[in-house]
Amino acid sequence: MKTETAAIYCRLSQDDGDLGESGSIQTQKSILTRYCKENHIAIGEYYWDDGWTGMNFNRPDFKRMMADIEDGKINTVIVNDLSRFGREYAEMGLIIEHYFEEKSVRFISLYDNVDTAKSKDNLNMAITNVMNSFYAKQSSIKTKAAHRSRAKDGMYLGNHAPFGYRKDPNDRHHLVIDPPAADIVREIFQLFAEGIGYVRMTKILRDRKILNPMAYFNQNNPDYFKSEYWRRPFDWHTTSVRSILMNQVYLGHVVFGKTKTKGFFDKTRIQAPEAEWIIAEDIHEPIISQELRNTVQQMMKSRRRENSSGEVQMFVGLIKCSDCGSSLNASFNRQKGKYTGFSCWVYKNYGKDRCTSHAIGWKTMSQLVLEDIRRNAKAAKLATQKYKYMLIAAKTEKKKRETEKCKRELKTVEKRTTELDKILSKLYEDLALEKVTEDRYQLMSNGYESEQAGLKGWQTQLGEIIVRAESAYENIDKFLPMIQKYTDITELNAQILNELIQKIVVYEKTDNLDGSKSQRVDIHYKFLGYVEMREMFGLPTVIPPAKEVQTDGGLIAEVRSLTEELAG
């Protein structure tokens, strides 16, 4: 007779709710040990998984037990009840009824009265497994619903606070600012806004001996991390910097659901679509302003290449070609250590068959943009109300006509859509009364339905245009304090450019009648309307709204200040 060598297997997780002391790992071991002694079964090994779900079998000690069965060390498995073994009935059936039988392994579940040595066809085991699986699924659904409800209420549900915050001692679901770490977060945003690239920023943080987020957390929670990775306390990586810059928590928001499991049985976590996130705004004190984050986000969308000094040129992503729409590349002179100018990326890579150079000097571009910003800033500061009225007037003149036209067209579309509803209804009635044939009905209805679908799409677009035009006035008040800050600036930087400007469009040079050359540069600001400086100061409006500036190449550049909505 083969000697029995038993595996005592215990499991407990949050899925099981509050089982109390009676369901603890220690209690399970005690009960099963007593059973083995009373029934003269030799215990080969104890296995337990504390804190592991029963919905899959990828548990450390469960896998160790299965390996010992495979090696012939164990021929009996004993559990307190079937739910301790697992809660996924299909895989449990395969293991217990097929794999264990193939390996001649006896399976015992005390509370369910299951013993495969006495009966292999146990209906009670199959029913219990199904019920355990159903219970686990229901518990999972309820838990997820509870978490989403809490997140909508603004409760922070993370295991530990993000870098820059700590959990409120009086409410673990609320975040409060951690001053030393918050200062580092602010500096990271500021450095990035000033044009410092990822690589150079990580070097700055390392050289200054700034603790990375993991090391800083472990400084206050020394027993949390089991791995040695955190012991490289000053190693900052671009991924750490990027995750800080992307995190909306620093605006005072709570974001839940950025990741999710692949499925009920596959617990691998994947990125969730942003549309599924739950964002509760203004829940705790912010570390950075919305304006700074907007600037940083715009800069992050651009392709950022660092020069030999570890800096990113300040115009990156802003300067566009008027013909092909691509970005203009910046040229960097390594010997002189400075940027020299811009040219079309498509032309540079594919030649004149695709585009022309649209070249412009760095000094010229900087001078044009700096003067235009200062001119608008000075007008906004010295004549705030007049400047504001001018913006509204410019908006009214242009947008009012467009909005009224859209409204008239929308009424026409709505009227025709209503007519088509009546036509289709009458056509269906004629089909029912056999006044038209089926073929005739299909031919006519398809045409009307196609027209109706197109009209509904256009109706939606018109509605969006009207709402956007009518709500745009609110952005004027947002822009005024932004532009007023830059009245006396003497040089540009990446933060100023990305805060104020949407894009700068460069045209190809043109030949003038006198033999000189000129070049047009359109500056698109993040605010409303067309800024006409001459009219504002009572100058003759017949004078062209052009600003002539002598360029470093002896050319004359024409600058026209065009504007776009603040929201982009």
Tell me the CA distances in angstroms from 17 to 48, 65, 145, 155, one per residue in order. Answer: 18, 25, 16, 21
Contact of 87 with 15, CB cutoff 8 Å: yes
- Alpha carbons 539 and 533: distance in angstroms, whole number: 8
Nearest to 469 by CA among 527, 402, 526: 402
Count, residues in the chain: 568
* Domain 165-293, CATH: 3.90.1750
Q: Is 490 exposed, middle or buried (0-12, 13-18, 19+ CB in 10 A)?
A: exposed
How many angstroms separate the Cα of 355 from the Cα of each of 186, 309, 348, 451? 42, 31, 9, 40
CA atoms of 197 and 497, how far apart (whole Å): 16
What's the DSSP call for residue 19? -
Nearest to 152 by CA among 137, 170, 173, 171: 173
CA distance 276 to 180: 33
User: pLDDT 10s digit of each residue in the chain, 568 long?
Assistant: 568 899 999 998 765 544 544 468 888 899 999 999 999 999 999 999 988 887 778 899 999 999 999 999 999 999 988 888 887 767 787 888 888 888 999 999 888 888 888 875 565 665 565 565 555 565 666 666 676 777 788 888 888 889 999 999 998 889 999 999 999 999 999 988 887 888 888 889 989 999 988 888 888 777 666 555 555 788 888 888 989 998 989 999 988 877 766 554 555 667 777 777 888 888 999 999 988 898 888 888 765 666 666 667 888 888 999 888 888 988 888 888 788 899 998 888 888 888 999 999 998 899 888 988 888 888 788 777 777 766 666 655 556 666 677 778 888 888 888 888 888 888 878 877 778 788 887 888 788 788 878 877 777 877 776 666 655 556 677 777 788 888 888 888 888 888 888 888 899 988 888 888 888 888 888 765 434 444 444 433 322 333 334 343 333 333 333 333 322 3
What pLDDT is stored for residue 218 in this prediction?
Answer: 83
Whole-number Å distance between alpha carbons of 539 and 224: 70
Break the chain down into helix, strand, coil percent, rounded to 5: 50, 20, 35
Contact 567, 475 (CB under 8 A): yes
Residue 419 CA: distances (Å) to CA of 307, 451, 458, 462: 63, 11, 16, 19
Parallel, antiparallel or unpaired: strands 338-344 and 328-333: antiparallel
Helix 238-246, helix 179-193: angle, nearest 10: 100
Contact 283, 162 (CB under 8 A): no
- The distance in angstroms from the start CA to the end CA of the chain is 82
CATH number of 5-149: 3.40.50.1390
| pLDDT for the residue numbered 421 | 84
State the alpha helices, DSSP H only, in 357-435.
362-382, 384-432
pLDDT at 405: 76
